[in-house]
Amino acid sequence: MRTIEALLDEAAELAVLQAWRRLADAGLPSQARHRSPTNRPHLTLAACPELTAPIRWELAEAAAALPLPVRFTGLVRFERPTSVLAWALDLDVTLAGLHRRVWEAVASDSPPQTLNPFHDPARWSPHITLGRTRRAGAFAARQIPELLPAPPLSARLVTLRSYDTETGALEMLGPLK
């Protein structure tokens, strides 16, 4: 599977890394515990089985909208197959537009059953993951807001990348400078 992710500007990335460290220091699930050199704060926009030529073309056009300003709205928790703690992003018209272009790109040349339904524009909830675990309710009983710095008021999404979940390879998709 190939993810399509948007990376944050340097200041926002540093704020997320600080939150990761605070969670880890408190003994809570944290993305800081993932030691892969590819691990860095990002916003997942979609995933597909492969980046075909038509998908790549559409993603290059979508990346032309970057950098894109975004606004953090605070902490959010998800209980899916995993428990996730994240900083939510405001789904304003510009972020929704970028996401829709990326979704349409992957949907245009991928079998529908291979697409993650949580990435569908009707269900997508933009967020930057701070911690994740398979333990249900891991973040529910904690005083997490006191542990974490406030998220930045604003940030910019600066580039798109793709991560290959099978090989671990990263590919920068743009905008290329």
Band of residue 138 on the pLDDT scale cut at 50, 70, 90: confident
Contact 159, 138 (CB under 8 A): no
Please tell me whether residue 150 adopts helix, strand or coil conformation: coil
Average pLDDT over residues 161-172: 93
Average pLDDT over residues 58-80: 93
Band of residue 10 on the pLDDT scale cut at 50, 70, 90: very high
CATH code for 2-160? 3.90.1140.10
pLDDT at residue 141, rounded to an integer: 63
Please provide the DSSP assignment of 12-76 as one string: HHHHHHHHHHHHHHTTS--GGG---TT---EEEEEEES---HHHHHHHHHHHTT-SEEEEEEEEE
Tens of pLDDT, residue by residue over 149-164, are: 888 888 999 999 999 9
pLDDT at residue 80, rounded to an integer: 76
Band of residue 22 on the pLDDT scale cut at 50, 70, 90: very high
pLDDT at residue 106, rounded to an integer: 97
Q: What percent of the chain shows pLDDT beyond 90?
A: 77
Please name which of 111, 142, 118 lies closest in space to residue 26, comparing C-alpha atoms: 142
> How far apart, in Å, are the Cα atoms of 142 and each of 11, 23, 26?
27, 11, 10
Query: Where exactly are the structural domains of the chain?
Result: 2-160
Q: What percent of the chain shows pLDDT beyond 70?
A: 98
Confidence check: pLDDT of 45 > 80? yes
Q: Could you tell me the pTM of the whole model?
A: 0.92
Average pLDDT over residues 82-95: 95
